Amino acid sequence: MSESGVSVAAGHGLGAVTEQSPLGIESKKLVMWLFIIADAATFGALLFGYGYLRVASPNWIRPFSFTPTVLNGLVMTAALLTSSLTMLLGVMAAQAGRRSACIRWLLVTVALGTLFAVLHIREWLHLIGDGWSPSANPTGGAVLVGGTFFSVTGLHLLHVLGGVIAILVIAFGFGRGRFTAAHVETTGLYWHFVDLVWMFVFPLVYLMNVR
């Protein structure tokens, strides 16, 4: 890197001149940040929609009890928060060049993400077994209770499943030398965002619906 902030991409033999990023991060990380901001607006819209529908439905009922729903949710929350910590440890290991340690932490992250997804899907199956669906409320209250619950938690669950697959791909790619520590860090950003969204989903969709 030259002092003027201009460098030559001589490695490609093209002699291309590139400017240093004014934001101080690599392009892949910037793209992930832009995706996260856009996705945050998507989840924001979904949660605002949920709030609006809830306020506009006079026959809204609170279907959840502490046991098992909130208890299950607390275990899911602890798993997701801990997976963010293990992801950070994986990123630190990758940046320090400790390849096998990085892969180990990433696989622990995948296991915790999978635990979250399994608990979530099990909860969904119980609710569906009780007669809940996006268009049905077995208690006779507002149908939108199920509609909003499955929409918000479903979109988040898709993000978790996508993240688990992405981390697996990155872990194996990093192990084979195909990916760098920057790839691990960028994937970590996405995973922390999935965690962040849950910080709003859990209190607003679960805790606010406890009887």
Partner 1 sequence: MSIEGSTREPGVRVYLAVWVALLAIVGVETVLVVYGGLAPGTLVLALLALAVLEAGLAVMYFMHLRYERRLLFWSLIPALLFVLLMMNQFWSDAHRIVKLHL
- Pick between residue 88 and residue 107 the one whose CB is nearest to partner 1: 88
CB of 6 to partner 1, least distance (A): 10
CB of 52 to partner 1, least distance (A): 5
CB of 153 to partner 1, least distance (A): 16
- Please tell me whether residue 65 binds partner 1 under the rule CB under 8 A: no
Residues binding partner 1: number (CB under 8 A): 48
Residue linked to tokens 């988040």: 156
Enumerate the β-bridge partners of residue 16: 9
Q: Give the count of alpha carbons within 13 A of 168, CB side only.
A: 11
Q: What separation, in Å, do the N-terminal and C-terminal C-alpha atoms of the chain show?
A: 61
For residue 128, the one-letter residue type is: I
Query: What are the φ and ψ backbone dihedral angles of 157, each rounded to 5 degrees?
Result: -60, -40
Between CA 46 and CA 158 the distance in angstroms is 14
- Pick between residue 16 and residue 118 the one whose CB is nearest to partner 1: 16
Residue 141 tokens, joined: 């209250």
Q: Which residues bind partner 1 (CB under 8 A)?
A: 1, 7, 9, 18, 20-26, 33-34, 37, 40-41, 44-45, 48, 51-52, 55-56, 66, 70, 74, 77-78, 81-82, 84-85, 88-89, 92, 189, 192-193, 195-196, 199-200, 202-204, 207-208, 210
